[in-house]
Structure 1
């Protein structure tokens, strides 16, 4: 029987992929969206849209009426902003929705957190597992990480004292179609030849396609034994920073990245830029931040063995397939999907002098696979167990 599920953040990157998969398997999908949110994508897929704000208890109560499962994907996006923005967009919104979920007695509350909830652990060879403590080494003025830690702590507290049937998914950097934050900017930076490798480039990169994160979230929601559990969903296979950037350059048909910055140079340079922009009270993030440098150049990884073994999660797409799919979606309607940005003066001068190379080298390049390509269907959707509950 069809379940009634609520997806928050359904107009965003991960939420939109969840909506696709849930609808494809026959669930009745609702989305809680603000009055100002464009919902054309949801309307086309028959999603029932409830208008309201996540910080409004009455709106959450209306959205949760008769709901079996909540997928909470909504949050303040990006690592830049004031603490007030993160407080309201992450912590207050999560608390209000979770308390309403307890009142509604939902069967499951799946919270999409982040590996940032672990804080910033020191580099290590051993992958970080779900047992690692939260909030390890939070930087000063790092509001994004602090909000992720606080969100999880309040939810685990509510699970213990209020009976919230909680399951937590912890992805790292998510990419894919309908990304409005990272990928459009990265594509433009590649075209301007301004992408640099942080460090040597041989470090493990934690990046994951939105569709395979959605698959893991659905599997976790379907599993009765996942109440009270957290799962790292951070990579489709082992891949280095350089390999990922090479695949992205190849998909865009631009030269591969050759310029490198030492990690500490990028990190502390980003910190200096952050301080400058905060003094200016800038709404826009600097070109480089500490978090961005750390995300690319850190020498640590996160174990996904728990999700693979307990849930049977196997990424349905390889990195090459998911990167190609993402890039082609953006290129199909560049004017609408890649925001226009003013060409930096240095780039304009280099272009005028013919120094900006926009085509890849003519010589063929061998692509070294970063992983064994999984033998799985590219659009696999987890099946709901036959014994699953129907709508209440």
Structure 2
């Protein structure tokens, strides 16, 4: 029986991945925080190790004698307290890398197409340069990839990187639950005319890509993960409203005015951190205002993987889950 470790197992992607690994007969150990919701992991029969990515000892305990380590854990947000992205997403990844090297295991690192820095050109492949933007999540994800690549080059780590774009599906806390909440509160607008592509990938398709990459990819390879279609945020939000009964978006923000607002809101949040997160950040602006239709030709060619779920099909699954949740 294959022994695997999953960081971020209680999260959205991690939870779906654990269910798939268990269904394949793997013995799964998941690193979770003491405050994490673990119902999905408990139902799947995963072993739980309580700890934190910032704690090297708990990471080492979770990795243990694993054959494969799936690193899904991260702060997934466009905003966090100063320094937290570095602590969790960058330094935490270095802890996972060190533990995986020590265990002699294979590493599947879940990164993000955000590392490209939102170049706003559709169809770009994995050779596109990474670009720091001074935004916590983006820069820390780049630092995490660099830690993986250093260990591949200098310590012989057997690692593969998967870069998903906008992942959605049942149990998604940000692109489903969070967006529905904002839509119902009248606090979500299209940026521009909503025609920017989102790079949407249904979570089950992403899990299949992660498993295919872990099983078959060569050491050091990197793969984009999108649905392979140029679907827009307007299409996504209109479909999300339809399947959940959420209030449709009725307002538009000019792209440049929205960017200026994001800068203003960020400055206010830094000046008064107790007042809460900014209503709009530059990172969120880039996500909704720039083209994220990245190429998945490499995964098709080298892994035989194909995104199977169209946006309408994926949203129909979201709607079924929403009605029964």
TM-score normalised by structure 1 residue count: 0.78
Residue 150 of structure 1 deviates from its aligned partner by 0.9
Matched, 1:267 2:266: no
Residue 41 of structure 1 deviates from its aligned partner by 1.7
Matched, 1:163 2:156: yes
Matched, 1:133 2:129: yes
Q: 2:303 aligns with which of 287, 307, 311?
A: 311
1:115 match: 113
- In structure 1, distance between residues paired with 2:42 and 2:227: 31
Q: Is the CA contact 1:204–1:240 (under 8 Å) kept in the aligned structure 2?
A: yes
Matched, 1:185 2:178: yes
Residue 189 of structure 1 deviates from its aligned partner by 2.3
Residue 303 of structure 1 deviates from its aligned partner by 0.9
Task: Find runs of 4+ consecutive structure 1 residues off by over 4 angstroms.
Answer: none
- In structure 1, distance between residues paired with 2:7 and 2:275: 25
- In structure 1, distance between residues paired with 2:321 and 2:175: 14
Matched, 1:85 2:78: no
SS in 1 for 2:75: coil
- In structure 2, distance between residues paired with 1:283 and 1:323: 34
SS in 2 for 1:70: strand
Give the number of aligned pairs.
325
- In structure 1, distance between residues paired with 2:194 and 2:266: 24
Q: Is the CA contact 2:32–2:48 (under 8 Å) kept in the aligned structure 1?
A: yes
Q: Identify the structure with the greater helix proportion.
A: 2
| RMSD between aligned residues | 1.9
Q: 2:231 aligns with which of 232, 235, 239?
A: 239
1:145 match: 138
**What is the 5 A alignment of 1:14-163?**
14-106=13-105, 108-121=106-119, 123-124=120-121, 126-135=122-131, 138-140=132-134, 142-163=135-156
- In structure 2, distance between residues paired with 1:242 and 1:330: 20
Q: 2:207 aligns with which of 214, 218, 239?
A: 214
Residue 259 of structure 1 deviates from its aligned partner by 2.5
Structure 1 spans left out of the alignment, 5+ residues:
334-392
Structure 2 spans left out of the alignment, 5+ residues:
none
- In structure 2, distance between residues paired with 1:257 and 1:58: 46
SS in 1 for 2:30: strand
SS in 2 for 1:181: helix
Matched, 1:324 2:322: no
CA deviation profile, 1:342-370 (whole Å, cap 9, x unmatched)? xxxxxxxxxxxxxxxxxxxxxxxxxxxxx
1:294 match: 286
Q: Is the CA contact 1:55–1:97 (under 8 Å) kept in the aligned structure 2?
A: no
Q: Is the CA contact 2:115–2:130 (under 8 Å) kept in the aligned structure 1?
A: yes
SS in 1 for 2:148: helix
1:354 match: none
Greater Rg over alpha carbons, structure: 1
SS in 2 for 1:36: coil
- In structure 1, distance between residues paired with 2:66 and 2:172: 27
TM-score normalised by structure 2 residue count: 0.93
Q: Is the CA contact 1:7–1:71 (under 8 Å) kept in the aligned structure 2?
A: yes
SS in 2 for 1:31: strand
Change (3 A) 1:284 1:173: farther
Change (3 A) 1:282 1:80: farther
